[in-house]
Structure 1
């Protein structure tokens, strides 16, 4: 009956005077092919709460639009007939909402049905009308529906009560099973009439018979059936009628009717990048159009204004939180933001640092020329060390920019994937300052050009320092739906699609655009700018440091020597020991820890940077130094030369490897080391376990300076060699030439300077 009614109306009235919105809760089967009518401007099937909520918003917006049109048309225009009498320039067709199986709608989404009924009541004078249909009227045909439906039709129903619920009398229950299409129509309290409805889904046939069959128009028993069954693939009467209606409207020049709402957001939206040509073109796209303070990455749905628009992260005003379960699209959103930044700014005009601590889903972005620092996931020392370095860089950059408020800095975009993971991984007391510094950057950064965006699986994992200061939140599919409250209505939750979210600022749904191939987009953007990559702002802690990297920091003066011995883990700057007159340097470590190669590196820097300084080198025969440097003396030879040199006025550097094996039976070394104004500075290396047990050894005088390097140390005991306390859990895994530079009672994690053992002689 519904199909016949809709098709019949479409055949008699053009789409400039009548349009349909078809709502079928049973999956859309009731209105198959009717959506092809030029009159049909919207369909809804298998309702999701968000789609129903969207429809209500758009329909309410349509009522407001019509009311405004009436007001603009002049005084006294308060209904559609009066408005149409003014011959408006733009057609305003009547809008008919056809809702099949509203009982199911009432059961699952009663608020939606109530909203539709209220809308129909208000909308009649505005030209908005409604047809409700159901097979099960029990308990759903309430007073509101009865009050707002002045025409009611009951076909054959199962019980007298069902008939009475609809038309007020039990007559429809007496309709026989064979009386298909028989119904009772109620137009008033006493105006109830039996009718026979038409069938439009049958097949009239195409035979040439001229016989005319006439049935008596007496509504008694069912008339004899004469319908012709459709053969396979043959069009039904409704199919033919729809085709004729469509062709007739085209011939008459009727354009498409104005839609109440745009098409729903697509499952896939294309991110259009200026410097990357897409391989395919999707119907829904996101191109950059909002200006320099918004990163356009999403297509938004605005049913209240019956439109869709492109927008994104308003980074100039505040930071952004992306909350959603794994797979909901939060990480992809970070990728889209990074690509938009790189497509908009030249390398150097904007910098990106990435804390990819969740699933390494952003590792492909590390190749972007704009990415100046990347730290991946993991709990190993190396992973955490790089993560900490990124956090320290952010804090240092905030401090630098705060100290120079009038200087212009390029925007720094900080992308954090997995904030909950980051927070849990740095919950120890020792790591608290790092998180606190990040919270400071989150709070103060936007004013300084530092813009942060972070993903989280749970909003509750955000501390107030983040959550309370963030007005821009995009909520994707959340495991705990209570986290949508109170900013998002319970019927406005986003669909369970990767990339679909609802913005808390406007409660608009959005879908993030992505290119077809992220790797190809990265390559294309880099090729356009012609830059493979700038010097990283955040670098990994090196596993080897050569003399050429730190030699420029070596200096000798009247009061002290500046001796670079490696790279500081905290900021990757050269670590320099300052040795005043009478102070000496100790390098300790176990076998193959890099002691000998460090002495060789220091020797090389001294020769290059201070060529006039006399250097004496001694070591036992088995020391690697004997193979790496020329003129290495035996311990006995060295003792004799040191005794002579101690009386000379010019400065002299004495380098001794494997010092724990040098006995100093003559006590020359011990005596020279106690001279108050000795021109000699000793730089010696020895094995840590042995040095700790040589209580009366001459190296005890070296240790008193509390100056040197502890390579691959024993955290429990080696600190005593230089009077420092070593951390039990170093920030980086210990390896060759890695350890602690020690001076003034402080231990600093460094990668020590060394030379390669190959090619040195």
Structure 2
């Protein structure tokens, strides 16, 4: 066992300036011997400094010449050291474990005076002690400077070590955590070897005091489960960016097929750097609450249907998301996130960051791993935090708890299954957490935006609907190859061996990259409603460009498509011709303002009062689809070209292409 000797000169001054230091010194004296730690305490004024605790734990004492018998008694239990002559420097009394003090002569370190230009030499102690010093040599040593001896010994040890003559003593105390750690992929932090197990990612360096060493801090989403980060917005943003990028980097470095797909709900912008990755199946901000709620719903279904794949849901700034969900029509999305965390499958891990809203979240008990970043946090914001170990609050410095910390405390450095929730509570309550320094992410990274989410294709890829879509963009999208269609053509609508019913293309929607079609039958009306200025005329123009005037059914003659704009203002002859076209098997796409009284002027034969399918453009209120018996999930202020397709109670939002007329001179209403 390596022994550690702690020397404290003028320890009385230390205790006077830092009273708490005495308790620590006595703790070392009490338990340190069994660990190979020994104390050497020195002071010029022992009276009052040597208390009962020191006498009980320090078994050996040396007293050189002192000024009074009281000082001598405090050290060795007798006043004999007061009588030591000034002419005998180095004379002392040694008392061991209560035995009578023994008088001895200590050695002094001196060199001859510099004026004599004597070259110093180094001799073995054993050889020197076996001989006798002459009077001249003794006189020279008494008149020399001990500092020169110390420098000579230091330089001699350095010379011997550089020549390989003496191995360096092993480090007894671990080095301090670095102020910041640069992560080089997942295999190195500050030059250390990573040695990651399968599925682990490197987050930084952790101090393990029971082993007096620094070890890599790793997180394995598959075995360690969810992870939560607490702290100021800047600290949690840096940590979330680190976690996401390390997961994506691990995918790029992996040679196996077991890669993870990331789905990012970015409340503070920290995850944008990862949005262009080919493994990022979604990147959504609070400005797009509808696709965010849609993603949470779809992710729960996808995790169950793909048990062989691994998924990670990243949510930054949970407080902002919770506030946005609660004040929107998608308030049930908050509960859906809680269900994912509490009852999700083992192939899904959630990494989430936040402040007070997260620490009080009802699902927090189901998150086993927690990282507390104290830099910049006020005492009010940390009132609900557990008792943390003492450390200097620098950027990236954190206390860790959970399975990622339990493996360090138990001496295991590989992944292990998630610890029970009770063990996490005991760990936080007892203050047995470790301190870690998270790595620094190099933001000078690049990714190909055209490849964003390409690895999630065929599993789940969700994109917010475009704020604007031109006809050329939609046509280019259609030329790229076959695309999934959504919402309008159920698999059971066509009998076995027969073609599906004909449909009309209305735009791009669904998961953000799907062609939206509506199945229609000959002799029916497709109502298109909206407030004045919602773009009904532009939509009819786009429908005419995309679908033409004939509806191919696959059986018999194609049906005619008739487009009628502003039907409530059309003269009776126009309405009569439209009614006759319906009777002959045509499909009528009729646009009219709603809500409003104009609906009563349209022919009863059109069946609009019991319509089960139709399109609402740019709705402003949930009640704008009352004609179809549906309440809409909208907060108003929908962008131009946004619409929702309603089909027997189901809703599919889409973006229709704006024609050139709209972009240049606006479509007439």
Q: For 1:492-531, what aligned pairs fall within 5 Å after superposition?
A: 496-504=394-402, 505=406, 506=409, 507-514=433-440, 517-520=442-445, 522=446
Q: For 1:367-386, what aligned pairs fall within 5 Å after superposition?
A: 367-376=276-285, 379=286, 382-386=287-291
1:602 pairs with 537, 543, 563, which one? 543
Q: Counterpart of 2:24? A: 112
Q: Tell me by how many angstroms 1:313 deviates.
A: 0.9
1:451 pairs with 343, 349, 354, which one? 349
Sort the Cα spacing of 1:156 and 1:726 in 2 relative to 1 into closer, same or farther, 3 A.
Answer: farther
Q: Counterpart of 1:269? A: 181
1:538 pairs with 430, 449, 462, which one? 462
Q: Tell me by how many angstroms 1:394 deviates.
A: 2.2
Q: Tell me by how many angstroms 1:118 deviates.
A: 1.2
1:737 pairs with 620, 623, 641, which one? 641
Matched, 1:419 2:318: yes
Native 8 Å contact 1:330 1:499 kept in 2: no
Q: Counterpart of 2:196? A: 290
Q: Counterpart of 1:692? A: 596
Q: Tell me by how many angstroms 1:737 deviates.
A: 1.9
Q: d(CA) in 1 for partners of 2:45 and 2:329?
A: 66
Unpaired runs of at least 5, structure 1: 1-65, 67-92, 218-224, 230-234, 276-280, 614-648
Sort the Cα spacing of 1:541 and 1:163 in 2 relative to 1 into closer, same or farther, 3 A.
Answer: farther
Q: Counterpart of 1:710? A: 616
Q: d(CA) in 2 for partners of 1:429 and 1:714?
A: 13
2:250 pairs with 341, 357, 377, which one? 341
Matched, 1:387 2:311: no
Q: Counterpart of 2:416? A: none
Unpaired runs of at least 5, structure 2: 120-134, 410-432
Q: Secondary structure at the match of 1:304?
A: coil
> What whole-Å deviation, never above 9, does each CA across 1:590-644 have from its counterpart, x for those lacking one?
455322222123223433873699xxxxxxxxxxxxxxxxxxxxxxxxxxxxxxx
Q: Counterpart of 2:430? A: none
Q: Counterpart of 1:658? A: 566
Q: d(CA) in 1 for partners of 2:647 and 2:215?
A: 61
Sort the Cα spacing of 1:128 and 1:309 in 2 relative to 1 into closer, same or farther, 3 A.
Answer: closer
Q: Counterpart of 1:75? A: none
Native 8 Å contact 1:364 1:519 kept in 2: no
Query: How many residue pairs were aligned?
Result: 587
Sort the Cα spacing of 1:723 and 1:248 in 2 relative to 1 into closer, same or farther, 3 A.
Answer: closer
Superposition RMSD on alpha carbons, in Å?
5.2
Native 8 Å contact 1:160 1:170 kept in 2: yes
Sort the Cα spacing of 1:184 and 1:304 in 2 relative to 1 into closer, same or farther, 3 A.
Answer: same
Sort the Cα spacing of 1:105 and 1:339 in 2 relative to 1 into closer, same or farther, 3 A.
Answer: farther
- TM-score under structure 1 normalisation? 0.63
Q: d(CA) in 1 for partners of 2:550 and 2:196?
A: 56
Q: Tell me by how many angstroms 1:564 deviates.
A: 3.6
Q: d(CA) in 1 for partners of 2:344 and 2:640?
A: 39
2:222 pairs with 316, 319, 323, which one? 316
Sort the Cα spacing of 1:109 and 1:475 in 2 relative to 1 into closer, same or farther, 3 A.
Answer: farther
Q: Tell me by how many angstroms 1:541 deviates.
A: 1.0
Q: d(CA) in 1 for partners of 2:302 and 2:192?
A: 36
Q: d(CA) in 2 for partners of 1:461 and 1:735?
A: 36
Q: Tell me by how many angstroms 1:533 deviates.
A: 6.0
Q: d(CA) in 2 for partners of 1:181 and 1:533?
A: 81
Native 8 Å contact 1:266 1:284 kept in 2: no
Q: d(CA) in 1 for partners of 2:112 and 2:317?
A: 61
Q: d(CA) in 2 for partners of 1:456 and 1:138?
A: 55
Q: d(CA) in 1 for partners of 2:298 and 2:241?
A: 25
Native 8 Å contact 2:8 2:40 kept in 1: yes
Native 8 Å contact 1:298 1:511 kept in 2: yes
Matched, 1:434 2:354: no
Q: d(CA) in 2 for partners of 1:160 and 1:609?
A: 118
Q: d(CA) in 2 for partners of 1:172 and 1:349?
A: 76
Q: d(CA) in 2 for partners of 1:239 and 1:685?
A: 97
Q: d(CA) in 2 for partners of 1:158 and 1:336?
A: 68
Q: For 1:580-729, what aligned pairs fall within 5 Å after superposition?
A: 580=521, 583-607=524-548, 610=551, 651-664=559-572, 669=575, 673=579, 679-688=585-594, 692-694=596-598, 696-698=600-602, 702=606, 703-706=608-611, 707-715=613-621, 718-720=624-626, 722-727=628-633, 729=635
Sort the Cα spacing of 1:611 and 1:180 in 2 relative to 1 into closer, same or farther, 3 A.
Answer: farther
Q: Secondary structure at the match of 1:682?
A: strand
Q: Counterpart of 2:419? A: none
Matched, 1:152 2:71: no
Q: Secondary structure at the match of 1:414?
A: strand
Q: Secondary structure at the match of 2:575?
A: helix
Q: d(CA) in 2 for partners of 1:680 and 1:357?
A: 48
Sort the Cα spacing of 1:674 and 1:186 in 2 relative to 1 into closer, same or farther, 3 A.
Answer: farther
Q: d(CA) in 1 for partners of 2:248 and 2:82?
A: 66
- TM-score under structure 2 normalisation? 0.70
Native 8 Å contact 1:670 1:701 kept in 2: no
Q: d(CA) in 2 for partners of 1:308 and 1:559?
A: 64
Q: Tell me by how many angstroms 1:415 deviates.
A: 2.5
Q: For 1:224-239, what aligned pairs fall within 5 Å after superposition?
A: 236-239=148-151
Native 8 Å contact 1:272 1:286 kept in 2: no
Sort the Cα spacing of 1:209 and 1:601 in 2 relative to 1 into closer, same or farther, 3 A.
Answer: closer
2:101 pairs with 184, 187, 191, which one? 191
Q: Secondary structure at the match of 2:463?
A: coil
